[in-house]
Each structure stands twice: as structure tokens, then as C-alpha cells.
Structure 1
Amino acid sequence: MLPTWLTEEYIETHLRAYCKDGQLRVLKLWAKPATEKGGNYVGVMTRIYVDYEDGNGTVQNKSFILKQTCSKDATQWAIFQEYDVYNREMDMYEVVMPKMAELLREIGVTEKLTAEAIVVDRERTIMILEDLATLRYVNADRVKQLDMTHTKMTIDMLARFHAAAIVLNQRYPEILAKNYSSHFFSRNKNGYKEIFTGLFRAFTRYVNTTPSLKNRYSAKLEHIASNLMEYAARSVDVGEKDFQTLVHGDCWTTNVMYQYDDEGNPTSILPIDFQFSSLTSPVVDLHYLFSTSLQENVREKEIELVQYHYYALKQYLDKFSYKGVFPSLHEYQLQFERRRFMTVIIANVFQPIMVYEGTEDPEFVNLYQDTPEGIRFQDSMYACEKVQRIVANILPIMDAKGLLDPQ
């Protein structure tokens, strides 16, 4: 159902401005939900359909994506307000991404950078975006996850994004001067502390039901639980010697879309959803991507994939004639390794949600609250054989690296 303010007149006014066509006339407007329940917790996505006649008399049939905030009655509304994610994403679509695309065109990179914003309405806190589905962009399968071809294409996209943001921050520092310091693990904010703590309780509960894991890791995980957010915050901290840029912040299969050729090979890629973009080390995006979205055999090539990103980033910056300090590959690998605690949270706590195929209610509060419904949902995440295998494989690695010991 369309909001009462979203009238034919409203759309007509904005389409005239976007299309630079003062004679454009909207003929019909209707809508359908754009995501299933649990598909997007941050806001409400609606696909709106518009039939209009342009100034030349040609009738067009277009669809767009309306992004609204979640309801003020929803538990997560206050959390997302605390992190100011809605203003941040509007800034990203209206200012940052168009400016980055302009910079990339200087070095001959003309591919689309993301969906275009038709409307950014700050009074209503909404955006109307280009519908990428009409351009044959789709998400990869979040359960099957990404093979090597998809992974390298995604890493190259991130390198392009990171390089453009570095140059943007050099030339126009005022653009990224506000609202890009907060992230999931911000020390001065509390919203995500409750969420991650609840998710980690669910993870620990699963470990304690598995004798082979409980005996080795239970006590260590109890210690981590009381220090979880501080340890995670350190993984996002940047020191004087750390390389820094704007990161996507939430780069996983659902927030990346691909075009395919007739043989099913990916040919083009676009990132979407920039609510959690922040200034930190670019390797934060790599940890997030690797921990949520890669097939297990691909993730085994992690060191080589960091190297791939490093050289792609360097290549883009060289095209920009970047004169700033750039780390050696060895130092870059060390910066990646120093942030590995992210995998304790992301791989064990977020990934089970991201590959979930169960039937329990995916309401936001059920992700982390200890209600009967919440516990059923959380326990069902770890009933998945794939998730159990991931946990069994990754805990010994984390333990061997000292990530489960006091930091």
C-alpha cells in the first residue's frame, strides 16, 4: 500500500526534475512489497510502478524502489536512529556516490557505481531509487555463497570503491567530515551491544550443547562475552600508521548485485545499502565479506584474496596519481591480521543469520532476545549442518591464533 503522501503529483514533480522534462505526465501509480519478511531489518522496501508520458508523447512503464525507515513502533527504530543510519545513507546516495563516480570517470572507469537516486526526501526520510532489477541485476544465492569468480569481482569492486573514497577524502575532506565515524562496534553507542551480546549468547549456547566444543571453548567464550564489544571495537580502530578510507561497512551477498551473461557468468557488479559506511581500514570490508559470503573452499584462499585486493587498490590509486602513503603488502597483511577478531563475531554470529533457511519467525527481536520465540529462532540457526561445520572448522583456528584468549 502506498503512503498517503506518495501521490501521482509527488512522483510527477520529482520525475520531471530527474528526467529534465517539464512536460512529463504521470498516468498511473501502484506498488508491491520489494522484500520478504526478514529481508530488510533497517527499513521498508517497496517497489513502485509508474506509467508516464514523456514530453515527446512516448508512454513509459518504469519501476523504482522506495526506501523508508522502519516503523517508529519497531524495536530497531531507536537503534538505527542512534547510529543515524538513515541520514548517512541519504548522504551516500545523494552526495558521496555521485562524487565518487565523477572521480572514477577521470581515470576512465565509467561503470555504474550503484543505483541512481531519483528522490532523496529528507523531510520524510525516504529515498526513491532506480530499480536495478529492470537492468537485470540480481543477488547471488546467499545460502550457496560466492565462488571465486564472484569473490574476485566483489573484491575488485571494493578496491574501486575504497580508492575513489581515498581520493574523495583528499580533495573534498568536508564531505566525509561528519557522520562516518560510527559503526556496529562504536564504544559510545549502545544499540548494537544488546544485539551482538544476545547473538553471542545464542552461539555460546550452541557450543555448550556440543560436548567436543564445550570442553575446549566454553570457558574462553564466557570470558569473551564480557569483553565482546571492546574487542570488536579494537578491530575497527585505526592508528596513525593504518591505511584508512570509507568502507561499505555491510558488504555481503544481499548488499551486492550482479549482471550475468547468457551462460550465467557474472559480468557486472553493483553495491547497494550504505547505512553502515564508515571511515576505517579497508580490510574491515574484507573481513566482513570473507566471514559472511564466501564458499568454504574460496575462503581458504584468504591470504591470496587480501593480496588481490591490495594490488587492485594500488592499481586504481596509481591511475589517480595518488601521492599519499601506501603500505607495503606485508604491512597490509598485518593490518588484516590485527583485525581478525571480527571473524569471531561475524563468522560465528552473523553468518548463521545470513545463510538461514529455517522456518522460525525472523522478526528482528528474535535475533537476540531471550524470549521463547527468540530462543527457538536462534537455536534453529545452529541446527543447520552447514553452520555447525563452519563453527567446528573456525573455532580451532581462532583458538590457535589466540583470539579466544584475553586480549
Structure 2
Amino acid sequence: MPEEMSQLGNGEATDLPKWLDKKYFEQTLRKVKNDSTIEVQSVEVKYAFPKGVNYASVIYRVRVSFRTKDQLTCSRSYIVKGMPVEAMAKQKLGEYNVHGKEMDIYQVVIPEFKRLMKSIGDRSCQYPSTLCIDREKEVIVFKDLSPLGYVMVDRLEGLDEVHTKMSLKLMAKMHASSLKLAEIRPKIFDGYKTGMMTRETDAFYPMFYSNLDALTEEINSWGSDWHYYTTKLRQLRPHFVEQGLKVFDHQCEDDLRVLVHGDLWINNLLFKYDASGSPIDVILLDFQFCCYSTPIIDLCYFFFTSTKDAIRQNHFEEYVQYYYYHLAKYTAKLKYSKKFPTLHQFQQQLLKKMFYAVYSTFIALPIQINEDTTDADFEALMGNDERANHFRRVIMANVNYHKIMKGLLPSFDRKGLLDKLD
């Protein structure tokens, strides 16, 4: 069993909102539990995650002790998720509407996904449960899953075969549910246009280019044997964002469109284990970057950021097939009646959108496996000052990342993914 990363013990929260107190939880619990006699006796607030784990939210773990009308004293743990308070984060993430979108997902979409899965006899959790969605305070309060034994796998280790297949199966359930829900309610996903790469805002574009430039310079320092790839990346740079955007474009009506999670990587998955340490359940978190687009986005992003490197380098086609067969199985069980691709047709869709593997590996992965969290915050991620430049040099200098890239660069090049695609 992996060591839990999301423990209490990261210190008392120093930027605690003044309203996040006994009065807030007393009012919330009275409303949710329909019990006006509840009295909150104590509230303990700590950060839910260490620095460098989450960039797009501020997340607290809150231990609440309260007394009910039966004079029973209860202690419960909750996760409170809100927007960062820093100006740059609020501005850029606001352009993506990450928090409003996630509240909509938990309030409107996930209940429908759960209903659809229950209709075919699947009663597994799949997604976290909310205590409340508070639009006034702009927070979501979740029931904490750690007391039930759910933990994160170490992001630096990656997922093995068992964990990877469990994750792909959950991905297939979510995508199949969205296919069926869109068939029932054709306009339900019309507003979900802003994925990680989007034409709706250019807020993240400077970060994409800065990371690509830092990677290019790092590869250039590896010696003359790698200068071929330096040249490739410099020629790719003017086309990089547009080729990423085209992954999100829906250019063919026969191509599948699903609710894409958009940030489906190891830190947004929680696993539960049996007494022998074998994983028995998995839950998917964090819907801030979801959009209505091709399932290839989640498939490439998850596989190339979150699996152990031996899997990443050698078994992509095998796991694509595994995902496809589960997607086909769940859409059939849900009685999805629209055209569904054969495996060969799905592979053709994959080839058209495969550039997202390049984006995932070049831009997201070095951030996600970074070990030096000194400057790991949103300002360093998005900024252009010396601190931000230093952060980019640090993440690209990671020797574990070098090992991954030295395997993937030739593979991507042989597929033509380092060239202008059109």
C-alpha cells in the first residue's frame, strides 16, 4: 500500500478565511442534516496537501466536533476547496472559470453519472461526495475520504499495471456515462468549452511557450547527440499551441465526444486497499479543467503523466485497447444508441489527436514529477520573472525527467509528432 500523501500534519493554515469557523459549520450542518439543534464544539483547520501538489486551488482539511439533538458528540473530517487568493491565480483561473465549472459538475453532472451507473448495477463510489456546494463563499465542502482508507499513490513513483487498469476502467465509466447523458440531454455539455488548452482564453499560453523553451534549452545541454531534437523543438515552437488546440477541436462528426476530465493524473485519483495491500477501489477528483471533447485528451494525459516509466515507454497500444474495450462495454450496458467506433476507427481518431501526448510530456509532466518544491506555486508556474525562470530550469533539470524524455523523444519523432502536422 502506498504511503498516504494527504495527511494532516502540514501545519496550521495561515491564510484561513475568517468565515471558516464554528458558526459556518454549525449553519451548514444544521441545514444539510435538517437538525437545528446541532452545536459545533470545535473546528480544527489544516492544509490538506503539501506545497507543490496543487496549483489551482486552496484546499483545507477540517476536523469538526459537534453535538446532535440526541446529545451524541460526533467528530467528522471534511475537505474545503476554494479559489487561490493570489491576484495572478484569481485572474488566470477566473478566465477558465475553473471553480464555477467544478461546482456545476458536482451539482448537476456527477449525480447524473451516478444514477446512470446505478442503473446498470454499478454502485461503486467513483466520485467524492459533497457536504455542500456554497456558491456564496465559492467553496465546495467534501466528505473526507481518508478516514475510509482512500489515499494517493506517490506521484514520483507512478502507477503500476493494476492501478493503471483500475484508473482506465474508471475513465471509461465516466466517458461512457457522458456519452449516454449527452444522448438523453443533448445540450448539457454545451458550456464546457475551456479545457487545459482552449481558444476561449490565452491565459496559459505564455506558460506553454516558456516551458517548451526551458525544455529546449535543457535538451541542448545534453550534448551534440541531442541537438537534432533541439532543432526539432525550435521549429515546432511556432506551431505548438495551435497543434494542441486542434486536439480539442471537434472536426469530424463521427469522432467521439465525451466529458473530458482534463486533468486526469495520479494526484487526482484516490485508491483504497484491502488488508493485503491490493487496490480494491479508485475515486476520481478535481473537475476544474473538464470540457466536452475527444476522450484522447484524458487517455494521453493520464498515460504519459501517471504510469510507471516501463509502462509509459512500452505499452501504450496495449492500454489503449484495454480502455477501448471497457468504454465499449459500458456504452453497450447503458444502451447508447448512437454510432460507436470500431477499435480500428478509434485508433484512427487517436492518431489524429496524438499530439496531446507531446503536450502532456513536455508541459505537464515536468511540473508533476518535480521534487524541489521551494518555488512550486502558481506565480512561479505562470510568471516571467527570474524566480519563475529558475523554477522552470529546476523542473527541466530533473534527472528522472531526462530518463523519460530520452525514451519518448525518438518515439514521438518516429510518429511525426515533433513536426508541423498540417
Indicate the SS of the match to 2:204: helix
Tell me what 2:3 maps to. Answer: none
Question: Which among 318, 338, 342 is matched to residue 324 of structure 1?
Answer: 338
Q: Tell me how far 1:37 sits from its aligned partner.
A: 2.1
131-140 vs 29-38, which moves further: 29-38
Which of 62, 69, 79 aligns to 2:92? It is: 79
Does residue 138 (structure 1) correspond to residue 159 (structure 2)? The answer is: no
1:133-191 deviations in Å (ceiling 9; x for gaps): 1211111110010000000000000011111111111223343232x111121123111
8 Å contact from structure 1 (residues 198, 369) kept in 2:
no
1:284–1:43 CA distance, 2 compared to 1 (3 A): same
Match of residue 325, structure 2, among 311, 317, 320: 311
Taking the aligned partners of 2:199 and 2:28, their CA distance within structure 1 comes to 40
In structure 2, the partner of 1:192 is: 204
Q: Following the alignment from structure 2 to structure 1, what is the Cα–Cα distance between the partners of residues 351 and 224?
A: 27
- Could you tell me which of 92, 104, 112 is aligned with 1:91? 104
The answer as to whether partners of 2:175 and 2:258 remain within 8 angstroms in 1 is yes
**1:42-191 map, 5 Å:** 42-71=56-85, 73-178=86-191, 180-191=192-203
AA aligned to 2:200 is N
Aligned to 1:203: 215
Q: Which moved more, 1:118-127 or 1:136-145?
A: 118-127
Secondary structure of the residue aligned to 1:123 is coil
8 Å Cα contact 2:256-2:294 kept in structure 1: yes
Q: Equivalent residue for 1:395?
A: 409
| Offset at residue 214 of structure 1 (A) | 4.1
> How many angstroms apart in 1 are the aligned matches of 2:224 and 2:254?
41
Per the TM alignment, residue 250 of structure 1 is displaced from its structure 2 partner at its CA by: 0.4
How well do the aligned residues superpose, as a CA RMSD in angstroms?
A: 1.6
**Secondary structure at 2:270 match in 1:** strand
| Match among 204, 222, 233 for residue 234 of structure 2 | 222
Are 2:52 and 2:373, in contact at CA under 8 Å, matched by a contact in 1? Answer: no
1:203 & 1:213 partners in 2: Cα distance? 16
CA–CA separation in structure 2 for the residues paired with 1:108 and 1:130: 24
Q: Distance in 2 between matches of 1:369 and 1:333?
A: 38
TM-score scaled to structure 2, two decimals? 0.92
Task: Specify the code of the residue in structure 1 equivalent to 2:239.
Answer: N
1:353 paired with 2:367, answer: yes
Tell me the percent identity.
32
Counterparts of 1:359 and 1:51 in 2: how far apart (Å)? Answer: 33
Alignment of 1:334-353 (within 5 A): 334-353=348-367
Q: Given residue 396 of structure 2, which amino acid in structure 1 is its aligned partner?
A: Y
User: 8 Å contact 2:219–2:227 — kept in the other structure?
Assistant: no
What 5-or-longer segments of structure 2 have no aligned partner?
1-12
Q: Which runs of 5+ in 1 are unaligned?
A: none
Residue type of the partner of 1:400?
Answer: R
Normalised TM-score (structure 1): 0.95
Q: Which residue of 2 aligns with 1:268?
A: 281
User: Does the residue aligned with 2:63 lie in a helix, a strand or coil?
Assistant: strand
Give the counterpart letter for 2:282 in structure 1: I
Between the aligned partners of 1:254 and 1:340, the Cα distance in structure 2 is 23
Partners of 2:216 and 2:277 in 1: how far apart? 40
Q: Which of 224, 233, 247 is 1:235 aligned to?
A: 247
Kindly provide the CA deviation profile for residues 40-73 of structure 1, in whole angstroms up to 9, marking residues without a partner as x.
Answer: 11111111111112233221101101111111x3
Cα deviation digits, residues 62-102 of structure 1 (max 9, x gap): 1101111111x332221111011110000111111112101
Equivalent position amino acid for 1:234 in 2? K
Alignment partners' CA distance in 1, 2:224 and 2:279: 41
Distance 1:177 1:22 in 2: 40
Candidates 285, 291, 298, aligned match of 2:304: 291
Q: Is 343-352 or 157-166 further displaced after alignment?
A: 343-352
Residue 64 of structure 1 contacts residue 130 of structure 1 at CA under 8 Å; is this kept in 2?
A: yes
Q: Secondary structure at the match of 1:275?
A: coil
Amino acid at match of 1:237: D
Change (3 A) 1:48 1:395: same
CA distance in 2, matches of 1:150, 1:278: 25
Instruction: Name the amino acid aligned to 2:45.
Output: A
Tell me the CA shift for residue 344 of structure 1: 1.5
Q: What is the number of residues matched between the two proteins? A: 405
